[in-house]
Structure formats: structure tokens, C-alpha cells
Amino acid sequence: MGGRIKMELLKERIQKDGKIKEGNVLKVDSFLNHQMDTGLFREIGKEFKRRFDGEKITKILTIEASGIGIACIAGEEFQVPVVFAKKTQTKNIAGEVYTSRVESYTHGKVYDILVSKEFIGKEDRVLLIDDFLANGKALEGLIEIVEKAGAHLAGAGIVIEKGFQPGGERIRARGIHLESLAIIESMDEKTGEIRFRENVG
Amino acid sequence: MGGRIKMELLKERIQKDGKIKEGNVLKVDSFLNHQMDTGLFREIGKEFKRRFDGEKITKILTIEASGIGIACIAGEEFQVPVVFAKKTQTKNIAGEVYTSRVESYTHGKVYDILVSKEFIGKEDRVLLIDDFLANGKALEGLIEIVEKAGAHLAGAGIVIEKGFQPGGERIRARGIHLESLAIIESMDEKTGEIRFRENVG
């Protein structure tokens, strides 16, 4: 129960500091994905540890940029290395990479994500971590990379899921262990009201 | 002295796992900027805390993507919020932003970085954190944002500085308190030899 009580703090924070913008955008950039409250991230990391305890996680995989901070603090809780998928090819990355194509809702464009083959292998039990789940395209890209690596997908931990968009349902339908710490059932741009799904976790 | 001994571990890690690629590229993506060793990040965070103790830091500012993990763990050490500058304008960011133009050595192109005006103010004492300092363009972009915000620039903490490229010298010449945990004096692609500047910190 301790974890649930802590995650009520997350929901209160979303209620207090989240701003609803047109186009179903929830701005939580004062504490989650532009300015970051690392004390909250620590509680989030502990809660992911609680929910995926027993999964024998060997590696955390996230995607740049806003997943990285949460994943790093979770990485300390799990005591495993953290890898972030990169969004564009740079000089600094080896040629030998796993890739996946992702369609971004936020940016309205398609991009490739890549992970060096050195950092995920068949022996790994991978936990995916990200800040948001909406249409699920980024998470599906990460899943594809885990599959290409032949690693075991242990599950996915998300901070905020937009329950009224299809990503979460589609990923659960595949039998993937998905844990979202706050699932938004509905939000109203005019009134500012945010309703959460009950009894998560 | 404790900090210095710990930072010897960083240099040993660079020696052991760093790979020198053509064009003066040092690949440390097995522990710093693709796969991330959060145990090492914790030691780095503690060392930044030691070096900037007494500066009354109120905010850490970094730049996406590879600065974020280090900055978050340092943020816990300083117990201050962490902000990361974004590299492109997205739907999720408010219109009211500080911007700076950055020329990227790694990517060979020019991009804008931006920070929402909400998250840096005149009252802030800002510590800049990044993984690498080479030509210094990204760091100068962050400095410009701090100046535009009218905040106090308390200093800059860098994990690896390429001492043979001009960024560090230029920034120190401006009187900015710059601390680089490992300064590479030279590196040889053929032999794999990496030499560090002595007596840093």
C-alpha cells in the first residue's frame, strides 16, 4: 500500500501543476519533462522497483530525451545499467545498431530510433521506462528493438498514461506487463478537470 | 582528497572503456552517453557537489540528451530542480522561451536550444552540467540562456573536457568557474593512448 499512497502524490501533482492544452496535450513540464523534480523521480523509481520486483531486470531501456532522468534514477533502484535509444544517427554511434521507425504524435513526424547492439543482448531482461504513453508509438519502437535483440521483455513502466488514447490498450492486449503510475481517464481543456482511472497497480 | 581519488576511477574507466575514433571522437557510450552507469553518475554528482559547495546553487541547467542523466543525479545531491534545454521547438513547450543558437560539432549542423522562461529567473544561481566539453558551443548556448534570464551563473561542471580543443580555455578566459572532472590532454587513435591533464580540481 505504501507505493499507492506515494503515487497519490503524483496524481495530486498532476492535478496541481498539469496544464491542459488544445489537442489533448497535457503539459507537465514544471516537474516531469522540462524542469524535473528529482525527489519525485526517486519515488517513481522506487515504485517501479516495487512493481517489477522479482522480474530479475538486467537492463533499463528508455528513449531520449524526457525518459532519461526517470530511467537513471530507476536504474539506481534496480542497480542495472540504463540505455537510451537515440533519435537520430550521429557520428558518435557505432554502425552496428538495432533500429525502429517511430511516428511522433508530439512532433507530427516520423523518425528512427536506434540502440547500439553492444548494449542489449539475448541474455538481458529489459524493463522499458518512459514518461508518457499516449498513442504508444515510441513504446512500440522500444519493444521492436528488444525483440530484434532477442532479449526478454520484462515489462514497461510509464509515469503518465493517457487512458483515452489507444497505446496502453494495444500494448496490454499483446500480453506485455505494463504499469502506468497515473492513468488519465479524461481531461477537460475548458474546466481544467483531470480524472484518473482508479485502483491502478 | 576523497573526491580526487574517486575521479581517478573516472579516468581509469575512460582509459579502459573509451574508444578513440577518427576525427578526435572519444566514444564513451558504454558508460556515459548511450549506456549509462548510474553508480558512476552518483560519484560524479557527489564530486560536483563538493566542487560547487558554498555556491548556493538553486537550479541545475543541462542540455538534452546526454547531459540529463548526470544532471538529474547531481540534482539530488544539490537538492535543487533540474532543467534541460530542448533542441527543437515542440508542441509541448510554451511560447515564452529563452533561446540560443548552437553549432554542433558532433552533428555538423546548427540548431536552436530553448528553455521556458518559467523555469529560470533573476533569483536563480545556476550550475550548468554537461557530459562533454570540446568546442564549447553547447555550453556557450547555455551560458547565453542564463544571461538572458538575468540569473547568476554559478559555474559549469563537465565530466570530460577535451583539453586540446578550444572550449574550456575560452570559457575559463571569461572568468567562469568551470570544473571538468577529467581533462584529456591528448589522445592517439593509432595507439589508443589517452593522456590526462594532471591536478584537476
The complex's ipTM? Answer: 0.94
Q: Which residue of B has its CA nearest to A35?
A: B83
Quote the pTM value: 0.94
The pLDDT of A83-105, averaged and rounded, is 79
Question: Which residue numbers in chain B have pLDDT < 70?
Answer: 1-3, 89-95, 105-107, 199-201
What pLDDT, on the 0 to 100 scale, is given for residue A89?
A: 53
Query: Which three cell numbers, joined as nine digits, stand for A105?
Result: 504524435
pLDDT in tens, B94-129: 569 999 999 876 667 888 999 999 999 999 999 999
Q: How far is A35 from chain B (nearest CA, A)?
A: 4
Pairing state between β B125-133 and B109-116:
unpaired
Q: Which residues of chain A have a Cβ shorter than 8 Å from any chain B Cβ? A: 21, 23, 25, 27, 29-30, 33-39, 41-42, 64-65, 68-69, 71-73, 75-76, 79, 81-84, 86-88, 90-94, 106-108, 115-116, 118-119
Q: Which of A25, A35, A129 to probe by mutation at the B interface, max B CB count within 10 Å?
A: A35
CB contact under 8 A, A84 and B116: no
CB contact under 8 A, A65 and B69: no
Q: How far is A180 from chain B (nearest CA, A)?
A: 21
pLDDT in tens, A34-83: 999 999 999 999 999 999 999 999 999 999 999 999 999 999 999 999 99
CB contact under 8 A, A69 and B72: yes
What pLDDT, on the 0 to 100 scale, is given for residue B107?
A: 66
CB contact under 8 A, B84 and A34: yes
Chain B residues whose CB is inside 8 A of the A46 CB are none
Written as one string, the DSSP assignment of A160-199 is EEETTSSHHHHHHHTT--EEEEEEEEEE-TTT--EEEPSS
Contact A194, A18 (CB under 8 A): yes
- Three-state DSSP class for A139? helix
What pLDDT, on the 0 to 100 scale, is given for residue A198?
A: 84
pLDDT band at A26 (very low <50, low <70, confident <90, very high): very high
CB contact under 8 A, B92 and A30: no
Chain A residues whose CB is inside 8 A of the B88 CB are 107
Q: How far is B82 from chain A (nearest CA, A)?
A: 5
User: In whole angstroms, how far apart are CA A185 and each of A138, A188, A193, A194?
Assistant: 21, 11, 11, 8
Q: Please give the interface size between A and B, counted as residue pairs whose CB atoms are below 8 Å apart.
A: 137
**Nearest-angstrom CA–CA distance, A181 and B11:** 39
CB contact under 8 A, B71 and A69: yes
Q: Which residue of B has its CA nearest to A69?
A: B69
pLDDT band at A140 (very low <50, low <70, confident <90, very high): very high
CB contact under 8 A, A72 and B34: no
Contact B84, B62 (CB under 8 A): yes
What pLDDT, on the 0 to 100 scale, is given for residue A103?
A: 87
**Nearest-angstrom CA–CA distance, B189 and A115:** 24
Chain A residues whose CB is inside 8 A of the B86 CB are 34, 65
Residue A193 has pLDDT above 80, yes or no: yes
Q: Which residue of B has its CA nearest to A68?
A: B69
CB contact under 8 A, A83 and B107: no
The pLDDT of A95-120, averaged and rounded, is 88
CB contact under 8 A, A35 and B73: no
Chain B residues whose CB is inside 8 A of the A81 CB are 35-38
Contact A11, A40 (CB under 8 A): no
Any idea what the Cα angle at residue A180 is, between residues A179 and A182, rounded to 5°?
150
What pLDDT, on the 0 to 100 scale, is given for residue B106?
A: 66
Residue A91 has pLDDT above 80, yes or no: no
The pLDDT of A110-130, averaged and rounded, is 96
Percent of chain A with pLDDT over 70: 91
Chain A residues whose CB is inside 8 A of the B32 CB are none
Chain A residues whose CB is inside 8 A of the B25 CB are 91-92
